[in-house]
Amino acid sequence: MKPLSTITVASDLPEALAPLREIALNLRWAWRRQSVDLFRSIDEAVWQASGENPIAMLPQVPASRLAQLARDEDFTQRMRSELGDLHTYLTSDRWFQRATPSLVGGPTGDRPAVAYFSMEFGITPTLPIYSGGLGILAGDHLKSASDLGVPLIGIGLLYRWGYFSQSLDRAGWQQENYRRNDPEQLAVEPVLGADGAQVTVSVTLPGDREVTIAVWKAQVGRVPLLLLDTDVEGNDDAAREITDRLYGGDHEHRILQEIVLGIGGVRAVQAFCDATGHVAPEVFHLNEGHAGFSGLERIGELMQSDAGFDEALGEVRAGTVFTTHTPVPAGIDRFDVAELRRYLDADEHGVSRLVAELPVEAALALGQENGGAVFNMAHMGFRLAQRANGVSKLHGAVSREMFQDLYPGFDVAEVPIGSVTNGVHRRTWVSDTMDDLYKKAMGDIDISSTGDWSQLASLTDHDLIDARDSLRGHLVTMTRRHMHDAWIRRGADEAELAWTRDILDPEVLTIGFARRVSTYKRLTLMLNDPERLRRILLDPERPVQFVIAGKAHPADIPGKEFMQQLVRFADDAGVRHRIAFLPDYDIQMAEVLVAGSDVWLNNPIRPEEASGTSGMKAVMNGGLTFSISDGWWDEMATDEAGWTIPTVDTEDREHRDRVEADALYEILEHRIAPLFYDRDDQGAPRGWLEKVRASLVQIAPQVTAARMVRDYVKDLYLPAAGAARTFAADPSLRAGFTAWKAAVSDAWPQVAVTDVRLTGTREGRVPTGSELTLTATVDLAGLTDEDVVVEAVVGTVGDDGQIAAPSLIPLQRDAEGRYGARFTLGRPGELGYTVRVTPQHSVLASRAELGLVATA
């Protein structure tokens, strides 16, 4: 019979168990073993059925079980202990509180706060608002900021459908499936205003179309993560769909999401601070260009306080940090200028209706490529931020070259884009098994505050062998279960899946490979010579097995084709016990995969991997690195802790792939496998274990997100906060700096360097160490010595005729008005020299900011 209607039956928590909900609503439980164990002990079956989601689990626990637990003194004592530990964690001074006075020199109660914008956040699978590396990185950033006590507010979107879950069809083609997220099943709460109602903000789209945005909060330890939601009663259907899916829809949908994130995000932060008393942020960190419109909103706010556009831009730049994550132009959001002009919606005076007081054409100029018809979100990010960085040293160098055109006249090395290498949150990604070894070697000290992990070298062979065997066994068990379930979803019958119970071997060398499936990451490089790979997998004495996972973007057809090619190889009955592709890669799967892999493989096209973090997680668990010299491995590579695949610098991609694949096979077959299987009389792989210790001691401390966040605080956040405070403390500075920029820009075409003379040479030659004198006549066109730096540029001349790796030697004005300096040259060789003039001002973070330089 069909039901007349339906009802939902849910258990209410007894008063004695009320602390469980408080613990569940703070996502710190996701990286605290004791909290997870507490929830699991309530009801193991319900815990698993809920997807290990305590918010979803608690209403499903039978009332009789809850009543029993309420009377269980041991359980209630554990619960109160967890609650007490949480309160201590939230209120005690941590690294930031202890270090800030020495870092900023200000009163301890006057610490700067940071607003951190990201399109996605990977905190836990129970909050499915992430897709991959960018989101996991953002999640680890928030967790480590919390652990370190950094006063940070996260801003993202509450996607009602999130990112897709992945399955394969019988032919190995990716299928995307979406599941609606119910806020009642998530660890989020509405942000409430003084009237007790949920806080909302709004944006006005063309045609006076008002879009209301509800503000939710997920608490990530000490860090509030504000999540914006347009699925609100009163919005039209199109507006309600703005925050429907992560990276879904067309360009117009993406623009709307970025308007909500950027402009709505700034308004939401203000409303949240007003409602809760949270310290208003002084620093705005844009994690990629998606939140670039936040800068336009802040400019508009300042213009409503009577600042001019250039004045407001200068102040916004001072307090903004921009992080770029892509080393390839294809990874950047680029829109049609006319499309953005429509959304900024100018009135008859050219002022935006979307952002009050904002001049539309001036705003568009911030992102236009060469003044043309394309609006580049990364260009806007750099023009809105006085401080910018890539996510590894190599990526910083690539970014300086990639965006050099934004700073004309300056060498690549002088482009003001630095680097902060990514890291991973140790307590999230270190398995319980390895965490026990960390504690055994290092005790209970907070190792996030130290870079010295040398005590890990004391771990015995027995310790490491037992841990690695256990973790590899867990991975094999998980892989067998997932492969069985994946084949059921692919349409297989139970009767034909007996083979899935025996795939992989817990004693065989295991290679892990998991990441977003895009062509530059080269999932299929290992298939360049399928027969050679087959021989390596099936070697009777030194076999190798692979566990592989990853998702392709729904619109990335080449990525899906790569995946299908790999899946078809793995489906072959001859090798399917040695190579497995696991669909639906997520945090839960990753935790087991990175921990259980003996070696983590990374083979992107150099230098197209900005950083990469999956290999860092393997390192934390005693895995070794096998990688192209790209991303983070490029700066940390050492033969003591891993293996580097040689790269080929050629435009012939087929040749490059063939040579690099051959190197991959050669290292795997003749260096990695022999070392793994070389055992002493006690059965211990001594050489392998020495490499594991070296990796744990030398590499692991460098790849923590705690190190990453400390670098952001010291190198970017505090300088940005200082610059922002300088503007705020002296309103005249804003106008004065703007006037100075205008005067310098007007005068610059007339600034000239002439009559450069170098004395001390003999027919163009000079002995090493001899003193030289260089002088020049400089016309400053009305500017003063305080406005500029005059310097000699000396260095070797490259094949392109440009001075490479120059030394900069300041020149001083003499009594006759000429500029000069005396210096010696210590290195032999053919050197070039010239004289240049650049602007200088106390507000500038880099003399390249204005893109002004005059040379002889």
SS (H, E, C) 323-334: ECCCCCHHHCCE
Q: 522-559, pLDDT tens digit by residue?
A: 989 999 999 999 999 999 999 999 999 998 888 888 88
Phi, psi for 592 (deg, rounded to 5): -80, -40
Q: How far apart are the first and last CA of the chain?
A: 91
User: What three-state secondary structure class fits 422?
Assistant: coil
Closest among 559, 525, 707, 527 to 627, alpha carbons compared: 525
User: What three-state secondary structure class fits 680?
Assistant: coil
Q: Are 855 and 756 in contact (CB under 8 A)?
A: no
Q: Is 486 exposed, middle or buried (0-12, 13-18, 19+ CB in 10 A)?
A: buried
- CA dist 329 and 772 (Å) reads 44
Q: Are 330 and 320 in contact (CB under 8 A)?
A: no
Pick out the chain residues at pLDDT < 50.
108
- CA dist 25 and 37 (Å) reads 16
pTM value is: 0.94
**Residue 247, CA distances (Å) to 130, 244, 256, 610, 780 in order:** 10, 9, 12, 20, 51
User: 150: number of CA atoms within 13 Å, CB side?
Assistant: 29
Closest among 637, 641, 636 to 687, alpha carbons compared: 641
According to the model, what pLDDT value does residue 71 have? 96
With both helix axes pointing from N to C terminus, report the angle between 293-304 and 265-276 in degrees, rounded to the nearest 10. Answer: 60
- CA dist 811 and 773 (Å) reads 10
Residue 811: Cβ within 10 Å count:
21
User: What three-state secondary structure class fits 794?
Assistant: strand
The percentage of residues in the chain with a pLDDT greater than 70, rounded to a whole number, is: 98
Closest among 286, 253, 272 to 200, alpha carbons compared: 272
According to the model, what pLDDT value does residue 795 have? 87
Alpha helices in 586-730 (DSSP H): 587-596, 614-620, 631-636, 653-667, 673-677, 686-694, 705-712, 718-729
Q: What is the CA radius of gyration of the chain?
A: 29
- CA dist 89 and 51 (Å) reads 26
Work out whether strand 599-602 and strand 624-628 pair parallel, antiparallel, or are unpaired.
parallel
Question: Left (φ > 0), alpha (ψ -120 to 50) or beta: where does 725 sit?
Answer: alpha
Token pair recorded at residue 484: 């069985």
As beta bridge partners, residue 245 has 162
- CA dist 626 and 619 (Å) reads 11
According to the model, what pLDDT value does residue 636 have? 96
**Residue 575, CA distances (Å) to 347, 535, 536, 544 in order:** 66, 10, 10, 11
Q: Are 345 and 354 in contact (CB under 8 A)?
A: yes
The DSSP H or E segment spanning 548 is strand 544-549
CA 351 remoteness from chain centre: 35
CB neighbour list of residue 252: distance below 8 Å, 6 or more residues apart? 339
